[in-house]
Chain A
Amino acid sequence: MNNEELKAYIESHYGSQLTYNEAGKYDLLFEVDASNLVTVCEKLKNDSELLFDYFCNLSGADTTERFEAIYNLASTKKKIRLDIKVILPHENPVVNSVQTIWPAANWYEREMWELYGIHINNHDNLTRFLLHDEWDEGFPMRKDWDAPDFIRFPDL
Chain B
Amino acid sequence: MSNLRTEEFDINMGPHHPSTHGVCRLLLTMDGEKVVKVVPYIGYLHRAIEKICENRTYAMCIPILDRFEYVTAMSCNYVFSLAAERLSGIEVPERAEYLRVIMLELNRIASHLIFFGTTAMDIGALTPFLYALREREYIMDLFEMTCGQRLTYNYIRVGGVSKDIPNEFTPKCRETVATISDKVEEYKRLLNGNPIWKMRTIGVGKLDADLALAYGVSGPILRASGVDYDLRRDDPYSIYDRFDYNIPIYQNGDVYDRYMIRLDEIQESCKIVAQALDQIEDGPIRAKVSPNFKPAAGETYTRIENSRGEMGVYLVSDGTKKPFRVKARGGSYPHLQLLPEIATNCMIADLVAIFASFDVILPEVDR
What residues of chain A have their CB less than 8 Å away from a CB belonging to chain B?
A: 23-27, 29, 53-57, 59, 61, 70, 72, 74, 76, 79, 81, 83, 102-104, 106-107, 128-132, 140-141, 152-153, 156
Contact = CB atoms under 8 A, between A and B. Distances in A.
A24 B299 contact: yes
A25 B43 contact: no
B301 A56 contact: yes
Given A103-B214, A103-B215, A156-B57, A130 B43 contact: yes
Given A61-B324, A141-B50, 14 more contacts: A23-B298, A24-B299, A25-B87, A25-B299, A25-B300, A56-B301, A56-B303, A57-B327, A72-B314, A76-B229, A76-B234, A103-B215, A130-B42, A156-B292
Interface of B: 41-43, 46, 48, 50-51, 55-57, 86-87, 213-216, 227, 229, 234-235, 292, 296-303, 310, 312, 314, 316, 321, 324-325, 327, 329, 333-334, 337, 366-367
B337 A61 contact: no
A4 B53 CA distance: 33
A29 B299 contact: yes
A61 B324 CA distance: 9
A54 B216 contact: yes
Nearest to B315: A25
A50 B300 CA distance: 20
B235 A59 contact: no
Contacts of A104: 214-216, 334, 337
Nearest to B234: A79
Contact of A57 (B51, B312, B316): B312
10 contacts: A24-B298, A25-B299, A27-B301, A29-B299, A57-B327, A59-B327, A103-B214, A128-B43, A129-B43, A131-B43
A156 B303 CA distance: 30
Identify whether the interface residues of B are mostly helix, strand, loop, or mixed.
mixed
Which 9 A-B pairs give the minimum distances between C-beta atoms?
A104-B216, A59-B327, A25-B298, A57-B329, A130-B43, A72-B301, A76-B229, A59-B314, A26-B86
A55 B310 CA distance: 11
Identify whether the interface residues of A are mostly helix, strand, loop, or mixed.
loop
Contacts of B296: 25
A117 B257 CA distance: 41
A3 B249 CA distance: 28
Nearest to A101: B214
Nearest to B316: A61
A53 B50 CA distance: 27
B325 A61 contact: yes
Nearest to B56: A153
B338 to A, nearest CB: 8
Contact of B337 (A25, A74, A79, A107): A107
A120 to B, nearest CB: 15
